[in-house]
Chains A and B, each alone.
Chain A
Amino acid sequence: DAGVTQSPTHLIKTRGQHVTLRCSPISGHKSVSWYQQVLGQGPQFIFQYYEKEERGRGNFPDRFSARQFPNYSSELNVNALLLGDSALYLCASSQGASGGYGYTFGSGTRLTVV
């Protein structure tokens, strides 16, 4: 079975641009969560979506937004990119809405802002 898939794997953007990151959960998983991992640190929670509704939001500015589609895949959008947005963006899927239980992480998208 396919695990959590994220695309693209790497990308480079310029300050002020917009970026869209995509995540496909494991088949049967209805929850998708997004995390940002800055180099040398642990992942930090950005959003959780369950059954297409936002269920949790971390301490990130409004430049960050996300949505979940009827097939449970998800997009993370970041507007007006800053150099500090450079990070590994991780997607995790799970069957239920409970925070952190039964998570499987994808390999992430490495975003570099120049």
Chain B
Amino acid sequence: GESVGLHLPTLSVQEGDNSIINCAYSNSASDYFIWYKQESGKGPQFIIDIRSNMDKRQGQRVTVLLNKTVKHLSLQIAATQPGDSAVYFCAETAANQAGTALIFGKGTTLSVSS
């Protein structure tokens, strides 16, 4: 069958291209999803989030798509810039439950060349 969007550990793009980073999440009970950007020597930085009652959300240059049927999340970055180079993680949680934790997916290292 056709692949929904495989996770790639690394992604190399040219400046100005659009980037798509994919993530598969694990828990059907998760209702809140976040994309983080992590630069070397720093903690994860919030990029965009989406709740399970939505399938698309847009921010500045970024769009998150959620496909609950196949438990798949993607991050689209428009007009990628060298400053976007970092490791990107998706994370899932049950947002309304106290004491629950973020579960992070496998990261994707984005390299942007100018």
Name A's B-contacting residues (CB within 8 A).
4, 33, 35, 41-45, 48, 50, 55-56, 58, 90, 92, 96-101, 103-108
Could you say which of A48, A50, A90 contacts B44, with CB atoms under 8 Å apart? A90
Could you say which of A43, A55, A101, A103 contacts B99, with CB atoms under 8 Å apart? A55
Could you say which of A33, A96, A104, A106 contacts B101, with CB atoms under 8 Å apart? A33
15 sample A-B contacts, Cβ–Cβ < 8 Å, listed by A number: A4-B43, A44-B104, A55-B98, A56-B101, A58-B101, A96-B98, A98-B97, A99-B97, A99-B102, A100-B91, A100-B95, A101-B32, A103-B46, A107-B43, A108-B43
Q: Is the C-beta of B60 less than 8 angstroms from some C-beta in chain A?
A: no
Closest to B33 in A: A100
Q: Give B87 Cβ to nearest chain A Cβ, in Å.
A: 9
Could you say which of A35, A98, A104 contacts B46, with CB atoms under 8 Å apart? A104
Q: Which of B75-112 contact A (CB under 8 A)?
A: 89, 91, 93-107
**Given contacts A105-B44, A108-B43, is CB(A99)–CB(B107) below 8 Å?**
no
Q: Is the C-beta of B41 less than 8 angstroms from some C-beta in chain A?
A: yes
If A97-B99, A100-B32, A104-B46 are given as contacts, then 5 extra A-B residue pairs at C-beta distance below 8 Å, sorted by A number, are A43-B44, A90-B44, A99-B93, A103-B102, A108-B42
Interface size on B, residues (CB 8 A): 26
Name B's A-contacting residues (CB within 8 A).
32, 34, 36, 41-46, 89, 91, 93-107
Q: In the complex, which residues of chain A have a beta carbon less than 8 angstroms from the beta carbon of B102? A: 35, 43, 45, 99-100, 103
Q: In the complex, which residues of chain B have a beta carbon less than 8 angstroms from the beta carbon of A33? A: 101
Q: In the complex, which residues of chain A have a beta carbon less than 8 angstroms from the beta carbon of B106? A: 41-42
CA distance A44 to B64 in the complex (A): 23
Whether A107 pairs with B42 at a CB distance below 8 angstroms is: yes
Q: Give A6 Cβ to nearest chain B Cβ, in Å.
A: 8
